[in-house]
Amino acid sequence: MAINLGDSAHEAAWRKEVRSFIDRETPDALRGSGEMGEGSLFGRLGAIKEWRDRVAARGWIAPSWPAKYGGADMSIVDQFVMNEEFAEAGVPGNLGGFGVMMIGPTLIEHGTEEQKSEHLSRILKGEVIWCQGYSEPGAGSDLAALQTRAVRDGDEYVINGQKIWTTGAQFSDWMYMLVRTDPDAPKHRGITYLLVDMKSPGVTVRPLTTLAGTQTFNEVFFEDVRVPVRNRVGEENRGWYVGTTTLDFERSSIGNAIGVRKALEGLMRQARDGKEASFVRNPRVKTEFVDRWIECEVAKMLSYRVVSMQVRGLIPNYEASMCKMFSSELQQRIAGLSMHLYGMHGGVRNRASMGYMQAVSSTIAGGTTEVQKGIIATRGLGLPRG
């Protein structure tokens, strides 16, 4: 059967519109931002806000949301094309963070009208930052083993426990989290989904320093934290099913697929024009460049497969795991190529070494490679659980 990877007339026109918008509206400080130095940081922050305002004016912050909630009623393909063009241009694409990617779609699907009214417009306006309270010290890959407790006390829940690897918690205003409300139920049951104000008494956030010296992740402690029952999303003890709702059209990972290719293109320019060019004469390094380029094309095709399923009304399962696993492992291989390109100089604290250290977590965050392999084996290949 022939496969058409080209655009339809509508898609081609839409792609042209997005490209025109990017060319016309991108602030100067964000053009070629990958080459900017640290001295430009504050200028970039202002430019990102300016860019966000321009994208928001089009309803493109959450393009797949219904228009009545501030979205643009876009089709799956329209959003995919927009994400692809933003990634190709190197301009910020995920301008709503977890608010748009995760909790917003969840509230649209499962939230009360009061919750939608309180939170959705503030998410789109960038007035609040959200973080995700899922992983715990003893419940990461096996998330359903979580033990953070929430006990009902009248019109409130009282939370005690700990979350970890919480991205951006030190900057967040709200957290959407999973808690155990029935310790005697099977582990996938007895879990409830709550919205927690991070300024609530008893919430303590402690940043964690990564191998690269950054403080991206945090551990969060809850000591007798009181949360109104009205902040529960869905039914009590049915939070697992709310928490696994997947409405994010970025499951295709097209941004990641293009991002790793852009990183590889940067290395290719460095190899051709930079002082490390002599290392390219090493046959091993030259072969690595070829292999990585082919793998970037594979990552893009895996993304196309996922979005094509969504267009047909199918729910990607193991296919999304294939996307995630392949792209994250490829990110690490490209980081390794960067180190090989720099040779012994790669051991110095520079862009190559920092990128290499930051890539370590890519096969852990968002579900470990081992978990993805299990999903692919059982749901994709039909193998028995080990």
Of 84, 85, 136, 250, which residue is the catalytic one?
250
- Could you give the angle at which helices 283-311 and 76-89 cross, rounded to 10 degrees? 160
- The question of whether 50 is a catalytic residue gets the answer no
The residues annotated as belonging to the active site are 250
